[in-house]
Structure 1
Amino acid sequence: MGSYKELVIAMVRTGIFGFGGGPSVIPLIRYEAVSRYHWIEDDEFGEILAIANALPGPIATKMAAYLGYRQKGVIGAFVGVLAHIVPTCLAMVALLTLVNVLSYSTAVAGMISAVMPVIAVMLGLMAYEFAAKAVKGLGKLLGCLLFVISFVLLQTISIHPAIVIVLFLAYGTMHFKLKNKWPHKSSKQGGMSA
């Protein structure tokens, strides 16, 4: 179990370096929780991410609250959220007077343009890792089929992402139940033929 110091450092880092909103913060939170401090496993992070996406509100603060709660209970949840949002709020207040000047600066526009590909690569890498785990657990054919179905539901039909997540969570519970039954049946049949 992590300390308050680790929780504060991790959430301050994700709050300060999470440029671009919630989706860009997710790889940073994953790195802190899974790779650096080993608070949770990668599979659990994926489950938490799915649930956080289904709930209303900013995803980064929900993740910070969950990780804080997981480490230190209710007080940890408050500490995690505050550590995640307070530094950014203070920076916004401090830089508010410079916004008009900086918004027309070519240097700032160049920095923003330089950061965008990094965020895209981080999100792409995380998506690839989750997809690889899904294909490993489901198989290539079923994994690709479910990807196509989710793409159609989200992009073509425009169903709310929370509904799609709930549908796939429901399917996931049924899939593993069915998967556990299949080897059981085949072992019985193998025993009968012997």
Structure 2
Amino acid sequence: MEPISRHSGIAAPFPMSDVNTDLIYPQQFLRKPDRNAMAPFLFHSLRYRSDGTPNPDFILNKEPYDEATIIIAGRNFGSGSSREHAPWALKSFGIRCLISSMFADIFKANCINNGIVPATVSEGVLAECLRAAANPQEARFTVDLERREFRNRRLGTVPFDISDSDRDRLLKGNDFIDDTLAELSAIESHEKASAEAMPWLNLGASAK
């Protein structure tokens, strides 16, 4: 996973609350195998009309938001199922950071594992961010993960919340598997000590 410490880009205002993973990435596209080619299906029911043409009223179809790399999202973004396709599609589109007052826990973990920063702010700050992003002249945000803050022309410097462990994973480009492999020596030592202390647990393995 690519490390991320600082990112600057256009932020798209998306104030809808309780956006679930099926709205982010609809179930009818789950069989699409390439996670790097999922961008066309992101927010499919909102981005396209029933005849398949782009919906000109949807924020990601408008300039400059069609090149957004940050989304300012309403409360409880990523609720519903544990569908990892949702962050895959967001990253395929080019999204590297999400700003909201609340993220669904599993969705947030999936974002961390895919190099997307979930920055949590208060409801009041979120409202200010949405207002700033709604103006194309003020829609550029710079997210500084090391300092846990973002900067914006209108808002100045604003702190955000993210846990130490999630921040460290993103800075290092590590997912949960990488964290486990970092403890491989300790795991092997534990397994060896357990086998010596309780040899009867390995009788089946020895018979093979």
Q: Which has the higher contact order (CA 8 A, sep 6+)?
A: 2
* TM-score of the alignment, normalized to the shorter chain, above 0.5: no
> Higher strand proportion, which one?
2
- The TM-score with structure 1 as length reference comes to 0.27
Q: Which has the higher helix share?
A: 1
